[in-house]
Amino acid sequence: MAAKEQGRSPRAGAMPGIIVNGAMLGLANMWPGWWAVPFLTSSTAQVMGAVNSVWIAAIVANAVYLVAGSAVVRALGGIVVAIFGLVALFRIWDLFPFDFPDSSFDWALAARILLVIAIVGSFIGIIAQLVALVRALAGLGRKGRVAHP
């Protein structure tokens, strides 16, 4: 069921998206900042550009959704943000800016597993957004289509 049919605007999530991504960007780069997280190492500084670019891309995409919230625009925005996310995830994987000393649990392995899950999820998200884009371009997402019982 389309967002309009459920009683909400397709642009409804755009403003919360801007607020949440803006807050994450601010918290990570200002006080208390990423350096206050005890398990992040100094090499975190080398991944912050990629991580910040994801938040900025998401803010820009959501701002565009406020102006033009069509299915095509949303699918394109989702693809772009997911690609930025993949770049950041691969950068984090390469540098692995985490240190988990004095723990009986293998947190480094858990972090690697979570990174793999996030990378796979990003690829799945890109595929889903590509399908949404094709459907939107083909007119399969039109409001006036006949509903199937």
For residue 45, tell me if it sits in a domain: yes
- The tokens 């949404």 sit on which residue? 132
Provide CB contacts within 8 A for 41, sequence distance 6+: 97, 98, 99
Supply 67's token pair. 């102006």
The confidence score (pLDDT) of residue 102 equals 84
Residue 42 placed within a domain? yes
Q: Omega of the bond prior to 16 within 30 degrees of 0, cis?
A: no
Q: Does residue 8 belong to any structural domain of this protein?
A: no
The answer as to whether 23 is a domain residue is: yes
| Percent of the chain clearing pLDDT 70 (strictly above) | 87
Give the C-alpha separation, 126 to 138, whole Å: 18
pTM exceeding 0.85: no
The more confidently predicted of residues 40 and 143 is 40
Q: Give residue-wise pLDDT tens across range 18-56.
A: 999 999 999 999 988 898 999 999 999 999 999 999 999
| 69: confidence class by pLDDT, cuts 50, 70, 90 | confident
Domain encompassing residue 64: 14-137
Residue 53 placed within a domain: yes
How would residue 148 be classed by pLDDT, with cut points 50, 70 and 90?
very low
What does the pLDDT read at residue 61? 97
> Is 77 contained in some domain?
yes
Q: Please report whether residue 6 resides in a domain.
A: no
- Please check whether residue 127 is in contact with residue 66, taking contact to mean a CB–CB distance below 8 angstroms: no
Number of separate domains in the chain: 1
E strands present in 32-90:
none
User: Does 149 score more than 70 pLDDT?
Assistant: no
Is 146 a member of any domain? no
pLDDT at res. 97: 96
Q: Tell me which DSSP letter residue 98 carries.
A: B
